[in-house]
Structure 1
Amino acid sequence: MRIPIIAGNWKMHKTVAEAVAFVNQVKDQLPPADQLQTALAAPTLSLVPMVQAAAGSPLKVMAENCYYQDEGAYTGETSPYALYQAGIHHVILGHSERRNYFHEDDELINKKVKAALRNGLCPIVCCDDTMARRIAADDKIHWAVNRILADLKGLNEADICNVTVAYEPSWAIGSGQSADSDQAEEGCYLIRQTINDMYGEDVANNVRILYGGSVTPANARAMMAKSDIDGVLVGTDSLDPRTFLEIVNH
């Protein structure tokens, strides 16, 4: 059985003190990890203090990005090896904002995914579709499928078992316009079928697939009721402990 995940992505928000205060507010109000996994992805400066604050609770702390080399002359980058040694075991890779603002392509994301897995990190691999492409080409969500083929290229079955996929329509990120639950389910279903084609049914049935894109307390329940949606990746509504807990305890 796939344990659902609710993960907040803070992006470039919160000071270290604010991040630690947030953890202290929510950590004792979360469901047991064997029923629902909860996680927060935060800027690098806050990660270690958050891990320390969350110790003994169900809350997991995630990185928002990492590089594909373990060390070297890469000014400003974050080492996947250093993340793991600091107690961070999950990392978001391929978020649409990384692709759009920092021009990360599928080849780079694939390298990062392999580096994360090599260092014991579990990547949450994001793939998007754009509304413009869907309208112009009547392509539905197959763009996301192409992304998955490229981002997971060269991984074996053992690797895939440690990967979570997040379907995030780029037109819904930060826009307040979410996909409806049927659209979200369609995207997650097609991603699962793609993994089925790549690795077989048993593997596909064990990979967790999340929906991300303007998730709120009002739509989270409908999303997570769908058979192929194993959780949500929450942006804006993960910044307030009250709305985050409302989504978690839906």
Structure 2
Amino acid sequence: MRKMLIAGNWKMHMTAGETEQFFREFMASLRQPPFREALGRSRLEVALFPPFTSLYVAAFALEEAPRGFSLGAQTVHWETHGAFTGEISPAMVEESGCRYCLVGHSERRHLFGETDEMTNLKVRALLATSLRPVLCVGETLAERERGETFTVVRRQLLKGLESVPAHRLGQDVVVAYEPVWAIGTGKTASDDDAQEVCHFLRSVVGDQLGAEGAESLRVLYGGSVKAENSAGLMARPDIDGALVGGASLKSDSFLAILRESLSALA
């Protein structure tokens, strides 16, 4: 059975000091025996994606967390080293204590011009290390209104996974469906719509890379996820977790999502 992953993407928020404060509150709740025991018994995995400047603070704090908690980076360069001012290599991310790395997030695609080809280079570079890529796909509102959702996410998925062996999918790759029109807007795809696209993504992987890879692949939903809608989303058969944005910036709202996710797994 696939593990559920709740991932918190902090984007360009949270200084090192704010990160320290977040974890003081967060870890105090995790130390409560009923919650800690429920997490330990579950198949829930949790990952947080702070800014690069806060990774070491977060890594130190998570040393006291229950099993199943890890860190991720928000982006990476595909080269191992070189004259790439401002960039971070996979080895640097790996050494900072990360297990995951986002690739292909819509803000990287639309604000910084990252292409499907660049996303694929990042996926392959991460898989050359111990890091696990979280490949983000999703359509804009205009694409959705033109009926292009499935065409867009299929292209992003297959381009992003090009040259990735099928046996790496379930163990080492996560896919996140984030409709661009739902990110930070307060709008959320309905449970049915999110399930439909996540099921489609799984079926595309099955058609192209085989049933075994499709069945073991974890597919997350992202886009204005909060405690009020998380349990319904997590209960869907092809949704294996959430990529959470704003609601992951406060320990109480993120903990509420974790509690709802645990109830969906019960």
Q: TM-score range by the shorter chain?
A: over 0.9
Whether the 8 Å contact between 1:24 and 1:54 is mirrored in structure 2 is: no
Which letter does structure 2 place at the counterpart of 1:115? A
Aligned residue number for residue 75 of structure 1 = 85
Aligned positions of 1:179-198 closer than 5 A? 179-198=189-208
Aligned positions of 1:8-157 closer than 5 A? 8-27=8-27, 28-29=29-30, 31-32=39-40, 35-58=43-66, 59-136=69-146, 138-157=147-166
CA RMSD between the two structures: 1.3
Aligned residue number for residue 209 of structure 2 = 199
- Deviation string 1:105-137 (CA, Å, 9 cap, x unpaired) is 10000000000111211011000112211222x
Q: TM-score, normalised by structure 2?
A: 0.90
Cα separation, 2, equivalents of 1:9 and 1:85: 19
- Deviation string 1:38-70 (CA, Å, 9 cap, x unpaired) is 111010000012111111413211100100011
Question: Percent identity of the aligned residues?
Answer: 38
Cα separation, 2, equivalents of 1:209 and 1:46: 27
Cα separation, 2, equivalents of 1:20 and 1:35: 27
Which letter does structure 2 place at the counterpart of 1:37? E
SS where residue 17 of structure 1 aligns? helix
Cα separation, 1, equivalents of 2:133 and 2:140: 22
The number of aligned residues is: 249
Cα separation, 2, equivalents of 1:228 and 1:64: 24
Q: Gaps (5+ residues) in structure 1?
A: none
SS where residue 166 of structure 1 aligns? strand
Q: TM-score, normalised by structure 1?
A: 0.96
Whether the 8 Å contact between 2:5 and 2:242 is mirrored in structure 1 is: yes
Q: Gaps (5+ residues) in structure 2?
A: 31-35, 261-266
Cα separation, 1, equivalents of 2:90 and 2:2: 26
How far apart are 1:34 and its partner, in Å? 5.1
Cα separation, 1, equivalents of 2:167 and 2:62: 29
SS where residue 81 of structure 2 aligns? coil
Cα separation, 2, equivalents of 1:21 and 1:109: 33
Cα separation, 1, equivalents of 2:121 and 2:149: 27
